[in-house]
Amino acid sequence: MRLFKLFLFGIFLVVFWSCSDLGDPLQVPEIEVSTSLNFDSVSLEDSTEATLQISNDGTLALILDSLRITGTDSADFQFTSQLADSKEIAPKGNLNITIRFKPSALGAKTAALNIFSNDPDNPSLTVSFTVGNVLVSYATQIQPIFTTNCTSCHGVPNGLYLTSYDNLMIGNSNNGPVITAGDADNSVLVQKILGTAGFGGRMPADNPSYFDSHQDELQLIKDWIDEGAQDN
Ligand code: HEC
């Protein structure tokens, strides 16, 4: 008889244990998101987009209270679509968020996305943005330098003419191509500006010391060549 009672108690324990498990009192939302979002290299004045996936690995709806872009360069990043104040992601569901990066200046960028949610373990998360290079733009930064300082002489298709990207790259000079993509130091155009070409004078011929007081413009030309001399 005692053995039978023990047997009943055993059954009771097994049933109790499985019931409490079925009830699962610990229903929680669980946010899953990568810790960084990568943006490609982009030219100044141009833009690029990257998409972040936020998933709910939990058993209860995940509610995103707010998504905020923060950091020194936050103004260069925008959501591509207006987000509702609070977003809900069903269990095992996910939400894609696309962010556009449009650099307002050259140089490194610091920004991140802060996510506030009802996940008890991660009520606030930060996704940091990593950005490729912000590339110099030929159209908006280089051609204007040539138009201001060079085309008075190099403005007709008679030898080197600097009125457009295509005309520059034809390399129709007395000394062959003047741009070696990816290598500013070995580009005749840079050497002519520095006076190291080994022939003729420093450019611009009518104001040879111009770039001594405009180092920033010379640096743009060099960077643009080192970045591959793209038509951007
Ligand atoms: C006042 C006229 C004048 C201006 C302005 C001028 N150049 Fe020149 N450029 C010349 C002459 C003349 C030559 C040929 C003689 C020589 O190589 O120095 C030349 C040659 C060159 C060459 C060598 C091309 C070849 O055929 O071998 C390059 C590269 C060049 N210039 C770039 C520039 C750039 C870049 C600017 C503007 C920042 C500029 N030049 C402004 C008159 C000018």
Per the listing, tokens 């060099």 go with 222
Going from the Cα of 58 to the center of ligand 1, the distance in angstroms, rounded, reads 67
HSE (CB half, 13 Å, CA atoms) of 196? 8
d(CA 115, CA 29): 14
Q: Which of 150, 158, 164 to mutate to test the pocket of ligand 1 (most atoms within 8 A of CB)?
A: 150
d(CA 119, CA 30): 5
| Domain made up of 31-135: CATH architecture | Sandwich (2.60)
For residue 171, the model assigns a pLDDT of 79
Give, for all 232 residues of the chain, the pLDDT tens digit.
566 565 555 555 444 455 454 555 589 999 999 999 999 999 987 899 999 999 999 999 999 988 999 999 999 999 998 766 678 999 999 999 999 999 999 888 999 999 999 999 999 999 999 998 889 999 999 999 999 999 999 998 888 999 999 999 997 788 789 999 999 999 999 999 999 999 999 999 999 999 999 999 999 999 999 999 999 9
Strand positions, DSSP E, 118-228: 124-131, 134-135
Question: Which residue's C-alpha comes closest to atom 31 of ligand 1?
Answer: 203
Instruction: Supply φ then ψ for residue 45, to 5 degrees.
Output: 80, -10
Domain chopping of the chain, boundaries: 31-135, 138-226
Q: Which of 203, 210, 212, 216 to mutate to test the pocket of ligand 1 (most atoms within 8 A of CB)?
A: 203
Going from the Cα of 170 to the center of ligand 1, the distance in angstroms, rounded, reads 15
Going from the Cα of 206 to the center of ligand 1, the distance in angstroms, rounded, reads 9
- Write down the pTM of the prediction: 0.74
Eight-class DSSP state of 136: P
